[in-house]
Chains A and B, each alone.
Chain A
Amino acid sequence: MKFFFFHLMPYPHLPADYEGPAWVKCPNRFYDPAAGTSLYNRYLDELAYADELGFDGVVINEHHANAYGNMPSPNLIGSILARITRRAKIAIVGNALPLYDPPLRVAEEFAMIDVISGGRLIAGMVVGGGPEYYSNSLNPTYARERFYEAHDLILQAWTQDGPFTFNGKHYKMRYVNPWPKPLQKPHPPIWIPGVGSVETMEFVARHDYAYMGIPYFHRRVFQRNFDLFREIRERAGRPADPEKAGWLVPIYVAETDEQARREYEPHLFYFIKKLLPGLTINPPGYTTAKSLLRIMHSFNDFMLSVDTWDQVDEGAYAIVGSPQTVAQKMIDLAGTFGVGNVLGLLQLGSLPAELTRKNMELYVREVIPAVRGALERRRSQPSLLEARPGA
């Protein structure tokens, strides 16, 4: 089991009486650049601290024009991380490929980060969230086509000797010849986040990439998606492999269950009520009409519909409690999900610096060893694993 520290770099200072979306049209007069200076530096310190504490990796991603995550360019942050971390993998999950034209830029920047960091990059590739197609006026009806084509171009750029010609529908490049190429061979590991579309899972399975289940859903949605991903891998002739699946989840650890809830609840609900609204907007053609209907039907299992602490707890939207409670929940869920990577959001919403650090310390010192130990003990009793369907 690998443990990653995921940071969204959220904006914690939206006005208390603001009730609009956090995306696309959230007025940027609410953004205070002076506050931004301390926030970026604080968040970078937290990512560096994760490396120091011994996390297997740090994780960042790309979002535009929003208060939810202030990383329009994750590659800028990734290149800083390449210098201020020493050992952790740097997972950028990912670059929204259709937003880069030509997407060769992604091949170049990812290669730079891989080379600078001595081969620590995990290259994430995403279609980009629905809001990005509004914020960048990019035609959503080409989202999937451009994603797949950009992926092919980047992979060829990394693995074939240049210069060569790439003749796609959307990208026509006569001289593909990036300098530098990545240090890791044949290329950095590739992670693809997804919300459960079959098409994405088939793509990930076909290429033997790793699938990251996008968070903020009820545990039954995760279960369904990870089960489906295992099935699709099997159909593609690939055995179940926990290393190829990751679970993104908000986590908060404190001394006791009561204290954890008391410290965390207001910051979690700042996240749910202030930063999530608008995330799920789905522009026309961005998914097939059938997928869109499936997504609409699953909204009641999405965190945006959560109003009470009991719902948070019952759905495992966030794993919160004492070290023992959190460890036990993670052992249970990681086991039934069959995932080998946990991407923990240990800072969320308005969670302040000191609580974030305490959370990280308790998680690394008390939760991770307990989870590792339990899962290793389980592995030495294979009958338990075999009893689980799809394992």
Chain B
Amino acid sequence: MSFHEDKISVRGVETLVRRGGDGPPLVYLHSAGNEGWPPALELLCARREVIAPVAPGFPGSGGLEHVDHVSDVALHTVDVFEALALDRPAVLGASLGGWVAAELAARYPKEVGPLLLVDAAGLWIDESPPAEIFGVTPAELAEITFHDQEHPAAQMLRSFAFGFDAGGKPVGTDDLPPDELILPMVQALEAAARIAWNPYLHDPKLPRLLGRVRSPTLIVWGDHDRLLDPIYARRYQELIPGSEVRFIEGCGHMPAIERPEALAEIAEEFLDRVDEGR
């Protein structure tokens, strides 16, 4: 792995930042799953400097006490740019991080360069609400997150056998995974719940705000996303002026893990095109 970790202070909030590669900066905003440095970043850092800050309250970062709403995380991300001397960097946000990226680009349009929203949360469609991520077992989480249930990441998630089954009975109490594996997952879910519990995984004001986005925007979606149906990709496209959509075939909710090559290729192509147009 070609990244290193630093702890920086962002207006007094300890923030873990993973960085790797060299070249124009690309900021990665992570999902609720605490995925760290997913395989797609390993590919993207071949030609760019990829910078992955950990959001407040997620493992490695403090500051959850300053967060009540997703907009607090968006503003904190502007502070991270300032602390790292990043000037209008490209931003790629996945899932929960895609929601943060959308809020960031809508609320602070002058702070964000090209924008990539990958299976981004943040919107709500009555006919197809986001799937439940809180209060399900890791096995159920694996089912809604990945298209290929044999993928190693899906298998690893399933092996975290703890929580409650569909009948409400605790499972895995005889054979709990080690605390150091469970604790980060529990902490990540808590930090996600702070902003995503209610309204569930969305901001009712976001649809109107998205008209403010000035970034060239690419929306990327796994065509088999069961957590956020691909119709959310179309809704984002309708709401963000001039945005485009690309679907990744045979892919679930987390392309950065499940189809890293496809995501990296699509992202590179888009970012190169934006660079040429400048």
Q: Do A and B bind each other?
A: yes
Which A positions have Cβ atoms within 8 angstroms of B?
19-24, 134, 137-141, 277-281, 283-285, 289-290, 292-293, 296-297, 299-300, 302, 304-305
- Shortest C-beta distance, A191 to chain B (Å), equals 27
Given contacts A296-B173, A300-B174, contact A289 B186 (CB under 8 A): yes
Given contacts A20-B166, A304-B169, contact A138 B198 (CB under 8 A): yes
A137 / chain B contacts, CB cutoff of 8 Å:
197-198, 200
Alpha-carbon gap, A310 to B135, bound state (A): 32
A23 / chain B contacts, CB cutoff of 8 Å:
168
- Shortest C-beta distance, A146 to chain B (Å), equals 12
List B115-145 residues whose CB lies under 8 Å from chain A.
134-135
- Report the nearest B residue to A280, measured CB to CB: B170
Q: Does B46 have its Cβ within 8 Å of any Cβ on chain A? A: no
List B138-154 residues whose CB lies under 8 Å from chain A.
none
A293 / chain B contacts, CB cutoff of 8 Å:
176, 179, 182-183, 186
CB-based contact B197/A140 at 8 Å: yes
Known: A23-B168, A280-B168. 12 other contacts (CB 8 A): A20-B168, A21-B167, A22-B168, A139-B198, A140-B197, A141-B197, A277-B169, A281-B135, A284-B186, A284-B190, A284-B193, A300-B173
Residue among B134, B166, B168, B169 facing the most chain A CB atoms (10 A cut-off): B168
CB-based contact B167/A19 at 8 Å: yes
List B159-174 residues whose CB lies under 8 Å from chain A.
162, 164, 166-170, 173-174
Which B positions have Cβ atoms within 8 angstroms of A?
64, 134-135, 162, 164, 166-170, 173-174, 176, 179, 182-183, 186-187, 189-190, 192-194, 197-198, 200
CB-based contact A285/B194 at 8 Å: yes
B170 / chain A contacts, CB cutoff of 8 Å:
280, 296, 299, 302, 304-305
A20 / chain B contacts, CB cutoff of 8 Å:
166-168
CB-based contact A284/B192 at 8 Å: yes
Alpha-carbon gap, A282 to B168, bound state (A): 11
A296 / chain B contacts, CB cutoff of 8 Å:
162, 170, 173, 176
Can you spell out 6 A-B residue pairs with CB atoms less than 8 angstroms apart?
A134-B135, A137-B197, A279-B168, A284-B190, A304-B170, A305-B170
Question: Out of B169, B176, B194, B197, which one reaches A297, CB within 8 Å?
Answer: B176
Alpha-carbon gap, A134 to B133, bound state (A): 12
CB-based contact B164/A284 at 8 Å: no
Given contacts A137-B197, A141-B190, A300-B174, contact A283 B134 (CB under 8 A): yes
Alpha-carbon gap, A277 to B173, bound state (A): 15
Question: Out of A22, A138, A278, A285, which one reaches B190, CB within 8 Å?
Answer: A285
Alpha-carbon gap, A348 to B183, bound state (A): 36
A279 / chain B contacts, CB cutoff of 8 Å:
168
CB-based contact A141/B169 at 8 Å: no
- Report the nearest A residue to B186, measured CB to CB: A289
- Shortest C-beta distance, A138 to chain B (Å), equals 7
- Report the nearest A residue to B193, measured CB to CB: A284
- Shortest C-beta distance, A131 to chain B (Å), equals 9
Given contacts A279-B168, A281-B164, A281-B168, contact A299 B173 (CB under 8 A): yes
Question: Out of A22, A283, A305, which one reaches B193, CB within 8 Å?
Answer: A283
Question: Out of A139, A289, A290, A304, which one reaches B194, CB within 8 Å?
Answer: A139
CB-based contact A141/B168 at 8 Å: no
Alpha-carbon gap, A255 to B128, bound state (A): 58
- Report the nearest B residue to A298, measured CB to CB: B173
CB-based contact B189/A284 at 8 Å: yes
- Report the nearest A residue to B199, measured CB to CB: A137
